[in-house]
Amino acid sequence: MSDNNDALVEEAMAGIAGAQSLAELDEVRVQYLGKKGKLKSLQAQLKSLSPEEKREFGKVLNGIKQSIQTALAEKKSQLEESENSGPDIEAIDVTLPGVRALPGHRHPLATTMEEVKSILIGLGFRYDDYPEVETEFYNFDALNTPDWHPARDMHDSFYTTKGNVLRTHTSAFQTRAMKEFGPPPLRAMTSGRCYRRDEIDASHFPIFHQLDVIAIDENISFADLKWVLYQLASALFGEDVQLRFRPSYFPFTTPSAEVDVMFNGKWLEILGAGMIRPEVLQAGGVDSEKWQGFAFGLGLDRMAMIRHGISDIRLMYENEEAFLRQF
């Protein structure tokens, strides 16, 4: 009989220890100490015993009852404590820093493009997008670039299907705009990606960005071009900006100039410019006897690099977060 009793106590202890909640613990209590519990059925055996045996067994039963009650009470206060304190506080460390969503950053190319664009819109130029896959006609022929010109060499351009090329400069928009908008006056610009088969290094990348501008009207002169360029440069680099005009050659302008800006004690080339050649006006359907125009085109990558002190064009295209986060 005492073996059975030991087993009963062990069973009860395991039940108590395994209880996960106060409700579960109460079920265990009813199972052992309740009116129809296991201890009651043991007590029922008392009747059939002699007075001597009764006293002995009664003691044993009391011992069992007491140890179960003690274990129940202990477990009860344990469960009460953890149920009152809510979820496992060890699992939530409120002192840990949160996961912060990093704010987005505008790419220096995009901000530079938008700034140049908005200054020129302020000066009365319209903005439109033009095709990146361009015909050889608009990219070269219409711009007085005959087919023997080195710029047309396969090594400089990416050809797609026959007669089509990824535009090598945004100047390809010039005669398209003249045709599209009809008789002058016309003040127009575009910007976007250009493509050339360059070896990649710190200042060359096969994709780069340009912004091109044309103005066509009666009596437009080089002085008008200079005035617009000074307006633009002083808005970008400050009132006391210094520009330097160097004579140059482009097939589609004459006279032509390359323009440098004085920046941090150095002359840096920022754009090409000139008066639109009569051949180009004619290719755009504009009467070159009646109208004149100027054109200029600037490299946005270079402009962004100068303004932000970026030394390697490749950084502009790698989109590394650490680089972009600076802007």
Region of 71-79, 157-165, 215-223, 266-274 interacting with ligand PHE (CB under 6 A): 266-274
| Residue 139 in contact with ligand PHE, rule: CB under 6 A | no
The correct pick among 237, 297, 305, 316 for binding ligand PHE (CB under 6 A) is 297
Give SS3 for 231: helix
The correct pick among 274, 280, 281, 302 for binding ligand PHE (CB under 6 A) is 274
What one-character-per-residue DSSP string does 28-65 give? Answer: HHHHHHSTTSHHHHHHGGGGGS-HHHHHHHHHHHHHHH
CA distance 36 to 47: 17
**For residues 171 and 191, which CB has a smaller minimum distance to ligand PHE in the complex?**
171
Region of 87-95, 106-114, 126-134, 271-279 interacting with ligand PHE (CB under 6 A): 271-279
| Residue 272 in contact with ligand PHE, rule: CB under 6 A | yes
**DSSP run (H or E) holding 195:** strand 186-195
**For residues 28 and 116, which CB has a smaller minimum distance to ligand PHE in the complex?**
116
**For residues 75 and 277, which CB has a smaller minimum distance to ligand PHE in the complex?**
277
**For residues 25 and 212, which CB has a smaller minimum distance to ligand PHE in the complex?**
212
Query: What is the DSSP secondary structure assignment for residue 301, as one 8-state letter?
Result: H
| Residue 212 in contact with ligand PHE, rule: CB under 6 A | yes
For residue 177, the tally of other CB atoms under 10 A from its CB is 20
| Residue 281, token pair as written in the block | 């006006």
| Residue 295 in contact with ligand PHE, rule: CB under 6 A | yes
| Residue 195 in contact with ligand PHE, rule: CB under 6 A | no
Q: Hunting for tokens 């090598």 — which residue is that?
A: 168
The correct pick among 32, 130, 205, 250 for binding ligand PHE (CB under 6 A) is 250
Contacts of 119 (CB under 8 A, 6+ apart): 231, 232, 235, 236
**For residues 75 and 253, which CB has a smaller minimum distance to ligand PHE in the complex?**
253
Least Cα distance to 316 among 267, 306, 289 occurs for 306
CA distance 237 to 234: 5
| Residue 63, token pair as written in the block | 């011992």
**For residues 25 and 139, which CB has a smaller minimum distance to ligand PHE in the complex?**
139
Binding residues vs ligand PHE (CB under 6 A): 169, 171, 212, 250, 253, 272-274, 295-297
